[in-house]
Structure 1
Amino acid sequence: MKNESFTALVSAFSRAYHAEHNQIKIFDDSLARQLLTKEEYEGIASSMSQGIAFFQPEFAGTQEQALRRVVDHQLSPSPLGRAAFAEQALEVSAMHGARQYLIFAAGYDTFAYRQPEWAAKLQIFEIDHPATADDKRRRVSALNPTKPSNLHYISFDFNEQDLQKRLLDCRAFDPGVISFCSLLGITYYLSKDVFKHFLATITKLLPGGSSIVFDYPDEHTFTPSAKERTQKQVMMAARAGEPMQACYSYEELERMLEDVNLLIYQHFTPDQITGQLFKAYNDSQPAHPIRAFDNVNYCLAVKR
């Protein structure tokens, strides 16, 4: 990946669009819009509205209606739902002693720049591929050159570099401190062996009580039984040059986590995500409901 992640840019767009167009929000990323240039925002909006025939061939309506349909139906559910799930879990973890927040594949995540008062006790580490990380820092510095004092950057290639060494080389990182790790949007793009090794490295490095939150595609993702949205998402990722590589059954995931000394603490299926995380928004917007993405589950695991 020589350039910044396209899927990360689209995720930022979807969070920005949701924040700007709704009073009651699934997840409020108030800064996402500022990370995108006017040309990028309008370009992604135009591309997505023009792509309505791919997403929903039966649709009839205006370009703006088409854009909202694509965003609500295809783009927003995962970025909004998993961010809400992760940050709710992070707050609980911080209340119970977590003092480090490791954001792997941080992309254009804005938590460090809109962090609430309870996050002041956390040291925040944004960990990402150098191309995306450098682009993110460039965009943020253009808005606000003052970096939060508790924020640290670590460049890391998930397929090539030694994670333990990269973390320990960062002076601010303390392997003896209970930590909360976010791995959102990662499992799709790593082989099962690489992901398991990645989890094992994290759990060996951090103390008991540390948590890992992630989303993952279920065992039907690459089969004909996958839902239509899922099939199109797989196609989109491949076309963007970021093909999905792995999917998991709950039983397989549970065994993998146990092998690396992790226990599942919380697990949401699509129906549970819609019912618990999207309810307030859906009640406020009956004409524009959002359902959690098909074939994607959320998991919070804790080291024994």
Structure 2
Amino acid sequence: MKQKSMTALVSAFSRAYHSENNDIKIFNDSVARLLLSEQEYSQIEKSMAQGIQFFNPGFSGSDVDALRWIVDNQLSPSPLGRSAYAEQALRNAVNFGAKQYLIFAAGYDSFAYRQPGWASQLHIFELDHPLMSMEKQKRINSIYEKKPDNLTYLPVDLALTAIDEYLFDHTEFDRSKLSFCSLLGISYYLSKENFTNLIRGISNTVCTGSTIVFDYPDQDTYTGKAGERVKKQAMMAGNAGEAMLASYSNFDMEALLSNCGFLIHEHLEPKEITKQYFAEYNQANPQHIMSAFDNVNYCLAVKK
């Protein structure tokens, strides 16, 4: 794994761009811009604008217009929609007694540094590959004098480590407390076996009533039936050395979760995601309509 994840950088860029350029926001990440250097931000701006013909053949307009089109259509829908969904679900879980928030493959997630008052009683755990975790902490340390008291970094390679055994060894994690686990953007990059092992490991670790939230690619994602945006996203990830590996039908996912001790509480497909999380933004920005990403579903499941 590279020290810098290109998909994590582009995701942070898309969240930052959206927050800085819109009054009505699908998801407001006020910290994302701080996590990127001026050079990184400008390089991503430039490379994306120059790639407009890949994303939208025949496009005519300025580089500024090209960048806006790419961000709104290709880059932002996934990180904005799934983050909005996950943090709304987290707040609901806190209202029902969740005390621990585990962010798997945290990347440049910034929740701990913009946490609202209702999150103050949470113990937040950021789990990520040791190199990625170290690199993220270097960025954070250049911005903030100290980390929040309720945040713990846990370096771990999710593809190689049994998560239940790993968490059992960390006394900061309390198995008796309700936990909320975010696994955003993970299911694409793990094999089905590794993703199943991760879900099973979480199930073996958290107590009954704990929650997991994640997005996943449907069964048509890597076929000719996939949307054009998805095909381009897969190509981008592959070119960055972060190939997408798996996809699931609704039946597959329900069976996987049930076998691992989870029941689906909510399942959303793209049209419903757009309706719930993009409508207000689209009403305010009819010239820059955004829709949830093709072939990507959101799932909220509870430990039986």
TM-score (norm 2): 0.99
1:37-52 equivalences in 2 (<5 Å): 37-52=37-52
Whether the 8 Å CA contact 2:48–2:67 is kept in 1: the answer is yes
Structure 1 SS opposite 2:137: helix
Q: Distance in 2 between matches of 1:261 and 1:161?
A: 20
Which residue of structure 2 aligns with residue 272 of structure 1? 272
Q: Deviations over 1:138-163 (max 9, x none)?
A: 00110002110000000010121232
Structure 2 SS opposite 1:287: helix
Q: Distance in 2 between matches of 1:216 and 1:145?
A: 36
Q: Give the deviation of 1:45 after TM superposition.
A: 0.5
1:114-133 equivalences in 2 (<5 Å): 114-133=114-133
Which residue of structure 2 aligns with residue 183 of structure 1? 183
Identity of aligned residues (%): 55
Structure 1: gaps (5+ residues): none
Whether the 8 Å CA contact 1:154–1:166 is kept in 2: the answer is no
Query: Runs in 1 of length 4+ with deviation above 4 angstroms?
Result: none
Q: Distance in 2 between matches of 1:218 and 1:164?
A: 27
Q: Distance in 1 between matches of 2:123 and 2:107?
A: 18
Which residue of structure 2 aligns with residue 200 of structure 1? 200
Which residue of structure 2 aligns with residue 139 of structure 1? 139
Whether the 8 Å CA contact 2:217–2:296 is kept in 1: the answer is yes
- Evaluate the alpha carbon distance shift between residue 145 and residue 168 of structure 1 in structure 2; reply closer, same or farther with a 3 A threshold: farther
1:1-304 equivalences in 2 (<5 Å): 1-304=1-304
Q: Deviations over 1:247-274 (max 9, x none)?
A: 0000110011110110110111100111
Whether the 8 Å CA contact 2:167–2:205 is kept in 1: the answer is no
Q: Give the deviation of 1:169 after TM superposition.
A: 2.7
Whether the 8 Å CA contact 2:282–2:290 is kept in 1: the answer is yes
Structure 2: gaps (5+ residues): none
Q: Which letter maps to 2:210?
A: S
Q: Give the deviation of 1:173 after TM superposition.
A: 0.7
Q: Deviations over 1:224-283 (max 9, x none)?
A: 010111111111111000000000000110011110110110111100111010111111
Q: Which letter maps to 2:21?
A: H
Q: Give the deviation of 1:164 after TM superposition.
A: 2.1
Give the paired residue count. 304
Q: Deviations over 1:107-134 (max 9, x none)?
A: 0000000000000110000000111111
Q: Give the deviation of 1:170 after TM superposition.
A: 2.4
